[in-house]
Structure 1
Amino acid sequence: MEKIANGSVGPFGGKGGAAWDDGIHSTVRQLIIYKGSVVDSIQIEYDDNGQSKWSPKHGESDAGERNVVKLEYPDEFLISISGYCTDDDSHRTVVRSLTIQSNRNQYGPFGTEDGKYFSTQSNSGKITGLHGRCGLCLDSIGAYFNPDLSISIGPFGGSGGNQWNDGVYTTIRQLIIHHGAVVESIQIEYDKNGRFHWSDKHGESEGGQRNLVKLDYPDEFLISLSGYCTEDSDSAVVRSLTIQSNKNIYGPYGIEEGKYFSTLTSGKIIGFHGRSGLYMDSIGAIFEPFSKPCQSIAVGPFGGHGGDEWDDGIYTTVRQIVIYTGLVINSIQIEYDKNGRSKWSEKHGEINGGVRHPVTLDYPGEFLISISGYCNTHSGSNVVQSLTFESNRRTYGHFGTKIGTYFKLPITGGKIVGFNGKSGYCLDSIGAHYEPILDPCSQPISIGPFGGHGGGQWDDGIYSTVRQLVIFSGSFINSIQIHYDRKGRSEWSQKHGESSELRTINTVKLNYPGEFLISISGYYGQVSGLVVVRSLTIESNKTTYGPFGVRDGNYFNIPPTSGKIIGFHGRSSGDYLHSIGAYIEPFFNS
C-alpha cells in the first residue's frame, strides 16, 4: 500500500491485470459499478471545468448487478472510497466491495464485505480522479485528492425546519447558543480575511439559557463539534452541543441524552450548516484540512498570563516528567526523546522544594495523549493548581489540589511531542504540541489500559476485527467477553471478570464485516475500596452502543483515530473488570 503523496492514495488491492489511470479532473459527477461476488467493473463520469468526460470501463465483466451512484453535481463531491479486497477463485487479490462516501451521503456497500478492509480516509480533501489495476474484474483502486478544499460533515439531527448554510469563511470568532430542554438557536460570528460577519440566527426560540463562546481570535479556532440529538429520525432535534477548540472545550450546552454525534476530523471549522425552525433541527460543519497530514498542532496553554513564556519545541516523544507540588504546581521538568537520545528541558517554575512526583513512561511503547488539571488564583495571579497526565496505557495523578477552573488538553487522536506555557515563581500555564498517533505504515498500537491495578492482567492479542461483545453490568462492569474474527474464523475470548444473574446482559453485535469498532470510552472509580471500570460506551464506524453501567468517577476515552480496534487487554478478577485498553490498527496498514 502507498501513503498519501502528491495527492495520490493507493491503489488498494492486488497486482494483477493492467494499470489504469484516469488522471486529475475538476470533480466526479457519477460512477457506474458492476458487482457480483467481486467488483466486476467501474466507470466514472468526471467533470472538467463544466464539461462531462467519461472514463473507459475498468474491468471487462458487466455480468453482475449494475449500480449507479449519481452525485448532486456541482454541490456534492466524493471525499472517500473504502471497501474490501481478497483472493478470488484463481487466488488473485481483487476488490470485493466498494463503499462511496460524499460530503452529503454514503453509497453502498456494493459487493461482498469480506477480506481485508481499506479506506482512503475522509480528511484528505475532494476526490478528483481514480486509478488502479483491472483485467477481467477490478484488481485494485486508488484516488487522487485535492487537499486544499473545504470538507462538509453532516448535518446531524432531523430533517424538519428549513435548510441553512452559512458558507465558508476564514475562521470563527464567537458563537451564541440558546438552550433549554433542546438547543433552541445558534448564531455565529465569522471572520473573513480580518473582517467580522454575523450569521442569521438559526432557530426562532430564545427562551432558554444564553451561552456565549468567545474564542481568543485569531490564535484560537474550532476543531470539533459534538452533541446529542433525539432518536426520532425525521423529527429529531439537537438536544446538546459541545464545542472544542485547539485550546479549550466549551459546553455541553443542553441535555446529553439521545443519539451521540461528532464531527471529529483533521482540520479547523470554517463554517456551519444545518436545518432549523422553532428549534435547531440539525447541524453540520465545514472543515478546512490542516495543510500537512502529519503536521503537529499546538493546543493551549491553559492558566494565567503571568511569568515568562517558554516553549520546549517538538521532539519524538516524552520519556518522563518530574512535577513538584505545594499549594500550587511549583515546577515541571520534562525528559524528551529525540530520535532515541534523551534531552531534559529546563525546570519551568522557580519554587524549590515541595512534594516530588516523577511520572516515568514505559518508553518507547507508552506515550502521552492528554493533560488535564485546574487553574486558580494564588497570591493575586491565576496559576496551575493541579495536573493529571493521561498516556496510551494509564492515567497519572492528579498532582496538586483540584480547586478552581478545570481545563483539558483535548485528546485529538495524537500524541504529545512537546510542552509550552508560562512560568515564574511557579507554573502559570501549560500547553502541548501534538502530532498524529497513527502513521499509515505503522504497526498496531496499544492504548491503555484505563482503570485500577487490581486483579490479574489479561491480553487477548491482535485479531482481524471484532464481531461482538457481551458485557455484564450493574453499578459497575462485572465482566466483558469479546467475539473476535481472525481471517474469517470466529474466536471467543475468555470472560474477563465474572457475571451474575442479578446483572444486566448487554450484547453488542456488530454488522460484520462492514461494521467495526473505532473507540471505547467510560468511567472508572472506587467500589468496595477497589478502582474498577464502572461504565463503558462502544463506538463503531456506524453507531454508538451504550452507555452500559453507571457513568460515575473518572472519565477515560480510547479516542477515535484513523484506525480500527482489533484487540483488547486489561485487568480483571472474579468480581470486577478493573481496567481495559485496546489495540488499534491504522486503516492504511499493509
Structure 2
Amino acid sequence: MAAKNPSYYQTGPCQEVKQNEHFLHLFMDQHVQGTAGANQASIVKPTEFGDFGHTAVVDWSVRDGRAPNATIVARAQGTAILSDMSGQTWFMCYTMVFNDERFKGSSLQLLGTHVTAKDGQYAVVGGTGEFVGANGVVNVKIIEFLDTTTGVIRELNIRFSCPCPNQSPVTKMGPWGGNGGTSFDIPDLPRSIQSVTVRCGDVINSLAYSYVDKDGQKKNVGPWGGAGALSVTITLASSEIVKQVTGTTNIIGGDTVVTSLAFVTNVTMYGPFGKENGTPFSSQVPDKSSIVGFYARAGGSVNAFGVYVCPN
C-alpha cells in the first residue's frame, strides 16, 4: 500500500502544453586572466595532479556578431572546472544572462563539457523569464584564437524549446443573460467540476459549486445570488464531466435574469431547474471539450451565466 502524501507535496494530472522553438546565433568571447579585457579568473589551481581540478569563474561576453564592435547581448556567467586527469576536458556550468532590450530579464542555463581547443556541445537545461522551462542544445564552434594565450571566440548555435508564455487551454463562453447584479468569477483557472448547488423557484436564485483548479486544489465558490424556495445539489461521479449547459433568460421586474438551467453530462442530464420561461440558450461546447467551471452576474437572483471550457 502506497504511503500517504505528506502535507508539503501536491500532485495532479497535467494537460498538454504547447511549446515554442527558439534559435539563437551568437558569438562568445573568452579572455583569459592576466590579459587585456580579461573576463575570467582562476579560484583553484591545484598542483598535486597537474591542473586537474583547476577551477575558474567566468563572465564571458556574448555578442550578436563576430566583430569586436558587435553588440553584447548577454553574459555567460558561471564556472569552468578541469574535470579529467589528462588535463583536456573542462566541465562548464553557466547562466547566459541577457541584457539587451528584447530579452532583458531572461536567461538560459547551460551545462556540458568541452575539450581544450576543440568544438563541442552544451545542453540547455532550463531558463528564466521568457525562456522558463527551456530544453535544448548548444553547438559550440571555435572560429578564432585571439593568439596562443589570450583567448578564444566561439560561435554558438542554440536551439531550444520552452512552453508558450501564459498558455492555457481554458477559455470562456457566454455569458447569457443581462447586465444587472454584481460580477462573480473564480480566482484560479479550473480543471474540473465536482459539484453544483442551485437554489431556484420561478427563476434561478443562486449558484454555488466546487471545482478542482489547475494545481489540483479543491475550491468552493458561491452561493452567487439570493435565497430560493428549492435547493438542489448535483455531485458528479469521478469520471463524469459536464458537456453542455442549457437554460432560458427572461425579463422579470425590469431585469433580465436566468429563469432555468439544465446540466448535461456524459452520463445524464440534471434539471431543468427553475421554470423554462423566456429566451433559450445553449453553451454549444465543441466536441472533445467539457465545461470545467462557471462565472455569473447575480443580485437577488442570477442575472447572467457563463462557462469555462477546456479540451478533454
Q: TM-score, normalised by structure 1?
A: 0.24
* Higher Cα radius of gyration: 2
